[in-house]
Structure 1
Amino acid sequence: MTARAPLTPPGSGPKRGAGAPWLLSAPALLLLLGLLVIPLALTAVLSFNAFDGTRGILPQMTLANYAEVLGDGYYHEIFLRTAGLALAVTLLSALFGVPETIILSRMKAPWRGIFLIVILGPLLVSVVVRTLGWAILMGNNGLINEALTALGVIDSPVRMLFSMTGVVIALTHVLMPFMVISVWASLQKLDPQVENAGLSFGASPFTVFRRVILPQIVPGILSGGIIVFALAASAFATPSIIGGRRLKVVATAAYDEFLSTLNWPLGAAIAVLLLIANILVIVAFNRWLERRYRQVFDL
């Protein structure tokens, strides 16, 4: 008689292909490592280097760059201005983008596809080109001032170029498509029969929107708000073109340190602090959002 091999329970044998996911994702991981992680790490290391106006970057490590940024009221004002700019752009993107997306979702074909392309089409154009277009419109002799003067609304041109108002308007136009995309994704999951049921029970359209539609698209609004806030806080082209040299934000301040004063360590410290501030805001907002929705679903 031949001896039979002992039976092994399922799953107890050697696992095959355990490293396949890592092998398949290796090209993407290497690309992420080479294009994002390593440059950020080198920037962080550079921010600790000392700097001398005559000798340039020194090999000594110091915290003087961070102490200068954190202890100087000039940089405090720049960071506060950047936070206010990002918050204003986020609120305006939600204020105009959410109704725009709701109206767009109620359109019939082919108008819905046409207007969706019109709204998202600017993403195909360079942000520099769009910002230069706004600079032409906002000039003292631009189309906006000329139209307001012709209508008798104003007597003299309104200063929009090289002002915070102009930066907010242009940056809202640049970033609003990201809010529309996020809210659009939430609206696609919304069952229209739920809205019809609320109307059939005698609720007004405003009540149905406030009690039925809005709670279901809030995740999309909040997700779009996070994206818009992060992009607005780190925006460079629009604030530098519309705001000019006087109206500095964090990105333009870091740019000036890199290319004007050639103080690369200080510019790197500003960039790292901006990254940390963005991460803290996003993580804190996500934690608050998860806690709030966990409480809602537990109820």
Structure 2
Amino acid sequence: MKRRIAWAPWGMIAPALLLFIVLMLIPLAMTVALSFNAFDPDKGTIPGTFTLAHYLHVVQDPYYYGIFWRTIRLSVLVTLICILVGAPEAYILSRMGKPWRSLFLLVILAPLLVSVVVRAFGWSMLLSPDGLINDALRFIGVGRVKLLYNETAIVIALVHVMMPFMVIPVWTSLQKLDPWVENASLSLSASHFTTLRRVVLPQIMPGILSGSLIVFGLSASSFVIPGLLGGRRVKMVATLVYDQYLTELNWPLGAAIAFILLAANLVIMLGWSRMIERRYKKTLG
């Protein structure tokens, strides 16, 4: 009877664990193994010999430095904008009453119901030289501004796509916050700003941390929006991997670039998570 009880949890998680291994770990291991294979550019074949040339090529070429730096820089910028906009938005949402809360929650989640390709094409029409935004700028006397096929277009579209992933975790954290704690702070003559900074903000830091990790990871690996709104000149790592796989047919180099991106994301995300957790513990302590 004890053996059955001991094996019961493993039996319950076995289907999900098997699915994770088949769909995540095995493809990842195959990608890593592929990145260490040589590539014959003349024949376009993979001989199967071991090499570190692809990693050395990426590390030693300044061209790849620029693309990786642009990817990390834009992902950090998108994450910061989502924090600055999404956290107050989630706070306002949590203070709304029925039925406005449900209505605005639906508005926030509505973009997730539309394909990211459709949203990218929608932004391309809005940001085009003859689009609605440039028409409004010309109407107020600013003139035509180049908003498409540059980093600005990528940031705008990514913020729109990633915002729900920031609002929902913060809003969930706010649901666990006792409103009487905030009222107690206000009753002790603390200002609203002090209450938000000293009482509310420390309590919602886990939600901000979760949302920022999701937003940064998805932004750094985004392909559709940089590909459609950035054009061929403004490349990010995901579009570079796509070019290596389908244009250059250099699958080992594409796998090496993808693995380096994964490693860089893990280092940045773990460092950010560790820093936020330390500050959170100090605040509560």
Shorter-chain TM band? over 0.9
Q: Equivalents in 1 of 2:10, 2:179: separation in Å?
A: 42
Tell me whether 1:277 sits opposite 2:253 in the alignment: no
Structure 2 Cα separation of the partners of residues 233 and 116 of structure 1: 26
Which residue is 1:192 aligned to?
Answer: 179
Q: Residue 296 of structure 1: CA displacement?
A: 4.0
- Equivalent of 2:7 in 10, 19, 24: 19
Q: Which residue number corresponds to residue 251 of structure 2?
A: 264
Alignment of 1:142-153 (within 5 A): 142-152=131-141
Counterpart position of 1:98: 87
TM-score normalised to structure 1 length:
0.92
> In 2, Cα distance between the equivalents of 1:216 and 1:17?
37
**Match of residue 253, structure 1, among 234, 237, 240:** 240
2:185 is aligned with 1:228: no
2:150 is aligned to 163
Measure how far apart 1:108 and its partner are.
Answer: 1.1
Mark the CA change 1:71 to 1:138 in structure 2 (over 3 Å): closer, same or farther: same
Percent identity among equivalent residues?
57
Equivalent residue, structure 2, for 1:36: 24
Q: Which amino acid aligns with 1:233?
A: A
Corresponding residue of 1:5 = none
Q: 1:161 to 1:14 in 2, by over 3 A?
A: closer
For residues 183 and 121 of structure 1, what CA distance do their matches in structure 2 show?
Answer: 18
Matched, 1:179 2:161: no
Distance 1:102 1:60 in 2: 56
The offset of 1:283, in angstroms, is 1.8
> Cα distance 1:167–1:124, how it changes in 2: closer, same or farther (>3 A)?
same
> Matched residues in 2 for 1:294 and 1:192: separation?
21
Task: Give the structure with the higher percent helix.
Answer: 2
Unaligned ranges ≥5, structure 1: 1-12
**1:128-156 Cα deviation digits (max 9, x unpaired):** 1111111110000000000111122x12x
Matched, 1:238 2:202: no
Q: 1:105 to 1:257 in 2, by over 3 A?
A: same
Q: d(CA) in 1 for partners of 2:34 and 2:172? A: 40
After TM superposition, the structure 1 stretch with the greater mean CA deviation from structure 2, 170-179 or 190-199, is: 190-199
Show the counterpart of 1:293: 280
Question: Does the CA contact (< 8 Å) of 2:202 and 2:283 recur in 1?
Answer: no
Pick from 40, 50, 62: which aligns with 2:51? 62
Q: Measured at CA, do residues 14 and 162 of structure 1 come closer, stay the same or move farther in structure 2, by a change above 3 Å?
A: closer
Unaligned runs of at least 5 residues, structure 2: none
Q: Which is greater in Rg?
A: 1
Residues 274 and 87 of structure 1: CA distance in aligned 2, closer, same or farther (over 3 Å): same
